[in-house]
Structure formats: C-alpha cells, structure tokens
Amino acid sequence: MARSTDDAADRTLKERHRAMWALGDYPSIAAEIIPELGTILVEACQVGPGDAVLDVAAGAGNAAIPAALAGAEVVACDLTPELLEAGRAAAEHYGLRITWREADAENLPYANRAFDTVMSCVGVMFAPHHQASADELVRVCRPGGTIGLLSWTPDGFIGQMFAAMKPYAPPPPPGSQPPPLWGSLDHVRALFGERVSDVSGDLRTLRVEAFAEPVEFREYFKRGYGPTIAVYRNIADDPDRVAALDHDLDELARRFGHGAGRLRMEWEYLLFTARVV
C-alpha cells in the first residue's frame, strides 16, 4: 500500500507547492532552458516502443514527450494541473497520446508494479518527503524495471540558487527535506537501499548560454520560476532584502559564469538509473 500522507498539514503544504509551481511560466523555462534534459533521461532509461512509462512530477512533459516520441505508452503525473494542461497542449501539437493526471509523488494513484520505467526529470526532487517519494517510485515499478532520475546537485547552479534564496524564504515545515539532496548519489542510494540493483550515478552538466549577463538571468527567474517568485513575494515589503537577494542572485550567476562576453554557465546534475529487484 502507498504510504499515506493524507493529513491536513500535508494537504496545506501541497496546496502551497501547487500554487507556487503555477506561478510565472514554468513551461517556457523548461522549453527555453532545459529542453534536452528530458531526452537525456529518456535515453538513459533506454525507453523503447511499447514500454509502460510513468513520468513523475512531469510538469509540461519535458521527459514524457520524448518518451512518447520513442514509442512508449506514457503516463505523466504532476501536482500542478496548470503544467499538465500545458503538457497536454504540447503533446497534441506533436500528435502524441499521453495520459495526464494530477498526483502527488508521495502518494501515487497507481497499482504496484504497474510500469516498466518510472522516471522524473528535476521533478520528484521537489516533493518534500524524500523517503515517501522513493518508496512510491519503487512500488509502482515492476521488478526488473528501471527507475531514472535527473536531479540538480547541491553544489551545482540550481542547488546553489536554492541555497542563496533560503535566507529570504519562510522556514521549511518540519520534516520537509531540501530538494537538491536528490542530487547526492549517497542520499539516493540510501533512499532506495537494497530494493534496486545496477545503480548508475553520473554527474553531468548542462551548458546554459541563454543570458547575456547576471541581471538578465535574475529577472528571467523572477518573472518565470515559481520558487523564485515565491521567495520575492515573501520579502516584498522589505526593499532592502529585495535588493540583497537581487545582489546575491547576480553574484551567483557571476560565480558560475565563465568566458568573455555572454554569460556561459554549466549547471550540474546527477543522472541516476537503477533496476528494481
């Protein structure tokens, strides 16, 4: 049985997360900044024609769509219906049939062993109770099936962006864990334990050259990325703190930028695959 997290506090927390991810324009960020990550994950999972694939925390289908293009039978689930709606429209554009469903990664509405591949592209890492999510990923994957996860690392750019934003955010609720921990192979190994074999964990980077300079990166994320918008809302009545966060995000982009001229960054992620025993 799925571990039940169905209590009032958890529902309130998930409502907050859902509202946060609906802020701004996450589908455009996925399409403009990280589109290749979905394909990288699908290839790492060796998804093929006819495979039953579940994309968890699928957003607008960054991984679900390439999996469907590879011929798989894809179910895409996510907490945020607005993102699923964007995914549905994108899939229609490609003439793909994907099943879109609202679901919490910590309590998946699927039968045990229902999928050949269970994957998540920078998605499940944002569910707050890591063990509950890991247990669900294993539960719905068949023995011999593949779990594939692509996650930002703690020391990489997005991990460091969350670290930079933390002092300006409300304290996290007790029991919730930081998303970039999923980018640590030791952490992920511990979550799955002996329930998986053939573990592979590759540290890789995504080259990002979309921004001419730090301020352009900062303003793009302030406009479009739910977690960044939410943090700025939290300090909106304190102009000094807004200016301080602006400064910290600019510094972050400067720290990661290299090369002359246009800002060139490498964003580190962990590409994890394993077989369910």
Ligand X SMILES: C[S@@+](CC[C@H](N)C(=O)[O-])C[C@H]1O[C@@H](n2cnc3c(N)ncnc32)[C@H](O)[C@@H]1O
Q: Does 137 bind ligand X (CB under 6 A)?
A: no
Cβ 158 to ligand X shortest distance, Å = 9
Among 47, 72, 74, 79, contact with ligand X (rule: CB under 6 A): 79
63: phi then psi, degrees, rounded to nearest 5: -100, -35
What distance lies between CA 226 and its chain's CA centroid? Answer: 12
CA dihedral 29, 149, 76, 166 (to 10 degrees): -50
d(CA 269, CA 15): 27
User: In this structure, how many other beta carbons lie within 10 angstroms of the beta carbon of residue 164?
Assistant: 17
Burial of 143 (0-12, 13-18, 19+ CB in 10 A): exposed
For residues 21 and 232, which CB has a smaller minimum distance to ligand X in the complex?
A: 21
Q: Does 53 bind ligand X (CB under 6 A)?
A: no
Stretch that binds ligand X, among 77-85, 141-149, 210-218, 236-244 (CB under 6 A): 77-85
For residues 187 and 241, which CB has a smaller minimum distance to ligand X in the complex?
A: 187
Q: Does 153 bind ligand X (CB under 6 A)?
A: no
Among 25, 51, 106, 268, contact with ligand X (rule: CB under 6 A): 106
Q: Does 160 bind ligand X (CB under 6 A)?
A: no
Q: In whole angstroms, how far apart are CA 236 and each of 54, 164, 240?
A: 38, 17, 10
Interacting residue ranges for ligand X, rule: CB under 6 A: 14, 17, 21, 30, 38, 57-59, 62-63, 78-80, 83, 104-106, 121-123, 126-127
